[in-house]
Structure 1
Amino acid sequence: MESVALTAPGGDLSIWALFWQAGWVVKLVMLGLLAASIWTWAIIVDKLISFARMRAALDRFEQVFWSGQSLEELYRSLSERKTTGMGAIFVAAMREWKKSFEKGARSPLGLQMRIDKAMDLALSREVERLEGRLGFLASVGSAGPFIGLFGTVIGIMTSFQAIAGSKSTNLAVVAPGIAEALLATAIGLLAAIPAVIAYNKLSSDANNIASRMEGFADEFSAILSRQIDEKVASKSRAEEYA
């Protein structure tokens, strides 16, 4: 176990001083938790911005989609650029629709299943992108306090060893070493609390956005199903009169 000298009575008890006076194990724990906290806030800010952009993109797409513009025109405009959200689901469905009819699809049921599968895959990719890095927040939120507690336990153990060596139990002598150890727990909570709150908030936002996209996929599947039925009926009537 590392040997740590006790701080003299009246020593500096600032956070910076406590960090430098701590043992190397406690220092590593603190630095790791600080790095996790910085990365946590970077993820939070990035997700808040990307979710806001995604909601705005969904609103714009829904406005255009339900404006009465033809599906072919909308597909041509969207297929020429990178799309996300509902646009990616729409493009995936229309691409499968066009491929199937270009190859002379014979089974309406098979066509519908392929379109639904294409939309499901596109939806899965979008949801995966939405939920990316949220697992890190969950890990920090659950493990952060325990990692900080580990640093505290190590720090208190080394402080007690130093106390035994100095044969002094004066509170003014003991307090700095205990404060160094408890600082690790404080940093662990500093990293964990925002991570837990952000994870719950961002997970709820991701689920809401995913529900909107899933609802659109169901509606668009119904629209294409009606068009498939109309094409099959038209083809049947044409064959009757032939």
Structure 2
Amino acid sequence: MGFLYQMKAYLFSGGFTLLPLILLSVYSLALVWERWRFYSRSIAGLPRFIERLRAMVDAGNLKEALALCKQYPGLASQVVHAALVGPVGKEERMNAVERAIGRQTALLEERLSALGTIGSTAPFIGLFGTVLGVMRAFKDLAHATGAGPGVVAVGISEALIATAAGIFVAIPAIVAYNVFTTKANRFADEMRWLTEEILDHLTEKAAK
């Protein structure tokens, strides 16, 4: 009861802007959890997959490389498959690879814009609550018969709580957005380097 009463007191003391901030916080955490699970499934074991694939391609074992792609459940297998069995011609196959990279990267970047929006918007919602709190403090001061710290305490408290809440919601969302975006960009770069090696190897093999 004490904890619930304290949380209720914080909610009301922070003004109505705390409600959208709480909703944004819950939604942000749900997005982070969903993206983390998706990334764990999609790019798990990627370094080992790339290492084994490079060894097979260098040895000329393209059939084994294709079999490895079928066994690997991650997004990288779709990109490598396009490099191994794409259209004839290096340029045409590279275009197919770029399209595959774009499709898989788009899956990794899905819903990240929502995290970025929450991270950039939450401080402004908190700032709005701050402005309302300061306005309330001045209003209370204007209607008070005697001036003193207690007159403006409620409004100032509301302003500070709203500011802190906005920052509290924004920081995890921004950190998660940057982490997931970095992982998606790194995936795209690694796929380009890997597929370029594969295409160069196939071109050299065809020229012999």
Alignment of 1:82-101 (within 5 A): 84-97=74-87, 100=88
Q: Could you tell me how far apart the structure 1 residues matched to 2:22 and 2:197 are?
A: 46
Q: Does 1:19 align with 2:11?
A: yes
**Structure with bigger gyration radius:** 1
Equivalent position SS for 1:164: helix
Q: Does 1:172 align with 2:150?
A: yes
2:62 is aligned to: 71
Give 2:117's aligned amino acid. S
Alignment of 1:1-242 (within 5 A): 14-20=6-12, 26-27=15-16, 29-65=17-53, 66-67=55-56, 68=59, 70-75=61-66, 78=69, 84-97=74-87, 100=88, 111-230=89-208
* Residue 49 of structure 1: how far off its partner (Å): 4.1
Give 2:183's aligned amino acid. D
- Unpaired runs of 5+ residues, structure 2, are none
Give 1:198's aligned amino acid. A
Task: Provide the identity percentage.
Answer: 31
Q: TM-score, normalised by structure 2?
A: 0.79
Give 1:16's aligned amino acid. K
Q: Tell me if the contact between 1:18 and 1:176 (Cα under 8 Å) persists in the aligned partners.
A: no
Distance verdict in 2 for CA 1:223–1:127, change over 3 Å: same
Q: Tell me if the contact between 1:58 and 1:85 (Cα under 8 Å) persists in the aligned partners.
A: no
Aligned pair count reads: 201
- Unpaired runs of 5+ residues, structure 1, are 1-12, 101-110, 231-242
Equivalent position SS for 1:56: coil
Q: Runs of 4 or more off by more than 6 Å in structure 1?
A: none
Q: In terms of mean alpha carbon deviation, does 182-191 or 35-44 score higher?
A: 35-44
* Residue 216 of structure 1: how far off its partner (Å): 0.7
* Residue 168 of structure 1: how far off its partner (Å): 4.0
Q: Could you tell me how far apart the structure 1 residues matched to 2:62 and 2:207 are?
A: 17
Q: TM-score, normalised by structure 1?
A: 0.69
Q: Could you tell me how far apart the structure 2 residues matched to 1:142 and 1:212 are?
A: 29
Distance verdict in 2 for CA 1:166–1:14, change over 3 Å: farther
Q: Could you tell me how far apart the structure 2 residues matched to 1:70 and 1:63 are?
A: 14
